[in-house]
Chains A and B, each alone.
Chain A
């Protein structure tokens, strides 16, 4: 049955233009295959496992877990802080990228390197650093240990590089002459920023924001030390999940994880939609 169709396709394939869009060369076919397998093993499989574990407990377990007051508080705190941190990063990350690309100042090279340190630092080390600086023995007299500010600071510390690093290359590619063209056409600095720069940078800012948000809702190491993990107050979802696992309640842990997965997915789609809107203006 299939063999005549296959030979037919093979014989006619190269000539048919309609097929050209999806036709793959042998090399490209192998590449696509490897990419799919790789992606499946590393990403799809674990994700499916989480979802399957969730469904094992049934819908009731899922709801019960989510609506459990301590868990719900943790989810609200995590998502809320993540949104806040992402918004902060969008503003300040873009600004830092701007300064790094457009301005010349002493120590710029050093700053370029330092920006990446939160990336490179093991998160628990970041947590120790923050605890030393903003904890009870703070040398600068700022003690925010065991407060929500601690969560905010820790998340901000680890997510700062994302927007900077996504916006920077796009800004480098941006032709300053387009801004000058806008000015010569009568645009104020603000109008130029709003109508020329923001649309051009929107996809990069969104990408950075998505990364920053995803990292923020999943962060653990950098905030456990400083936030104190106080139930109902400073406990985040990753800590909550760990507690469930330690108690052997895998279904509950998976339930919270699945919800976070959903939130992340929603955030990424929402950001993408926003970015398209802005870029089209």
Chain B
């Protein structure tokens, strides 16, 4: 295990940011700390980096106890949401910073900088200043700077949070590919469940200072340990008093046992997908249903039509029998 966190707690005054966190981050993997804002995930990342102190507990990095080590001695690469670029230095000097501190020879530094800039596709920007780069380019520079020192772990704090949607998507794919090439143990913080599900090997869901669940994207999606995890990973709706995903609802136009009867009150088509709002006959909040357009047409659905709804595959962890997943 590359990072071993045991019993870490942190309070800011009365606010409990982290409470008794125990976590192992496997070597060479891409781990996401996922959770809502203010849930403590960034604090945890900063404690791993040594930029923040834990009130109690220990942090081990690659087998050595780092709890009391200052940030500069942890050999950790850290990428900040707002780039934290050294504005008075060129891109090349930014990347060279950590190497110069390690007293490497001029030739070594130059070589490594060139290699890093090639890796992040910024070779032609070496002599520019950060202010002359776009947000995405700045973040890639920050990544090159962090990777240049060959860190034992790479930590990214909402690395794409300040970028617009399209660039965010590109960088996300690119980070995944980069990680497949470089294989450095990576932990990144995000509040975007799609980002976590798409990029990470392992996801740690953190909420209100506690770990809700740890698992692969598949495990989390198929066996959410709590309603919180279920609802955080995508849209949910309430059917017969239980939380379910809108696309896990079976729709029929004829009565079936254990089904909730209702009427289609809204029909929205988005590309290949159809979203229905079904108002239960018994009253209450409308139930959301997602299905493909073909399926919807095949079943002859439309606004005003009476339908029966039931769960097609129960996913809620507490109720899901293991056999279903196998």
Q: With a CB–CB cut-off of 8 A, which chain A residues contact B149?
A: 185-186
Q: Which of B85, B87, B88, B97 contacts A185 (CB 8 A)?
A: B97
Interface residues on B, range: 20 to 34
Residue of A186, A191, A281 contacting most chain B CB atoms (<10 Å):
A186
In the complex formed, the residue of B with least CB distance to A178 is B84
Q: With a CB–CB cut-off of 8 A, which chain A residues contact B87?
A: 178, 200
How many A-B residue pairs have C-beta atoms within 8 angstroms? Tell me: 63
A182 in the interface, Cβ–Cβ < 8 Å? Answer: yes
**A184-B76, A185-B98, A185-B145 known; A177+B71 contact, CB < 8 A:** no
Contact A181 B78, beta carbon cutoff 8 Å: yes
Contacting residues of chain A (117-153) with chain B, CB-CB under 8 angstroms: none
Contact A178 B102, beta carbon cutoff 8 Å: no
A187 in the interface, Cβ–Cβ < 8 Å? Answer: yes
Contact B82 A182, beta carbon cutoff 8 Å: no
Contact B88 A183, beta carbon cutoff 8 Å: no
Q: With a CB–CB cut-off of 8 A, which chain A residues contact B77?
A: 184
A175 in the interface, Cβ–Cβ < 8 Å? Answer: yes
CA distance A181 to B98 in the complex (A): 10
Contact A185 B84, beta carbon cutoff 8 Å: no
In angstroms, how far is the closest chain A Cβ from the Cβ of B75?
8
Contact B88 A186, beta carbon cutoff 8 Å: no
Contact A199 B88, beta carbon cutoff 8 Å: yes
Contacting residues of chain A (141-200) with chain B, CB-CB under 8 angstroms: 175, 177-178, 180-188, 191, 195-196, 199-200
A109 in the interface, Cβ–Cβ < 8 Å? Answer: no
B51 in the interface, Cβ–Cβ < 8 Å? Answer: yes
Interface residues on A, range: 20 to 34
CA distance A161 to B97 in the complex (A): 34
CA distance A177 to B85 in the complex (A): 9
**A185-B149, A200-B87 known; A175+B82 contact, CB < 8 A:** yes
Contact A187 B101, beta carbon cutoff 8 Å: yes
Q: With a CB–CB cut-off of 8 A, which chain A residues contact B101?
A: 185-187, 191
A280 in the interface, Cβ–Cβ < 8 Å? Answer: yes
Q: With a CB–CB cut-off of 8 A, which chain A residues contact B118?
A: none
A115 in the interface, Cβ–Cβ < 8 Å? Answer: no
Contact B84 A180, beta carbon cutoff 8 Å: yes
Contact B72 A177, beta carbon cutoff 8 Å: no
A271 in the interface, Cβ–Cβ < 8 Å? Answer: no
B125 in the interface, Cβ–Cβ < 8 Å? Answer: no
A279 in the interface, Cβ–Cβ < 8 Å? Answer: yes
Contact A184 B78, beta carbon cutoff 8 Å: yes
Contact A184 B88, beta carbon cutoff 8 Å: no
In the complex formed, the residue of A with least CB distance to B95 is A185
CA distance A185 to B109 in the complex (A): 14
In the complex formed, the residue of A with least CB distance to B93 is A281
Q: Which of A178, A184, A195, A280 contacts B71 (CB 8 A)?
A: A184
Contact B102 A181, beta carbon cutoff 8 Å: no
Contact B88 A187, beta carbon cutoff 8 Å: no
Q: Which of A177, A187, A199 contacts B80 (CB 8 A)?
A: A177
**A196-B86, A199-B88 known; A188+B78 contact, CB < 8 A:** no
CA distance A153 to B100 in the complex (A): 42
Residues of chain A touching chain B, judged by Cβ–Cβ distance below 8 Å, are 175, 177-178, 180-188, 191, 195-196, 199-200, 279-281
Query: Can you list 9 residue pairs at the A/B interface with Cβ under 8 Å?
Result: A177-B84, A178-B87, A181-B78, A181-B84, A183-B51, A185-B97, A185-B98, A186-B73, A199-B88
Residues of chain B touching chain A, judged by Cβ–Cβ distance below 8 Å, are 49-51, 70-78, 80, 82, 84-88, 97-98, 101-102, 142, 145-146, 149
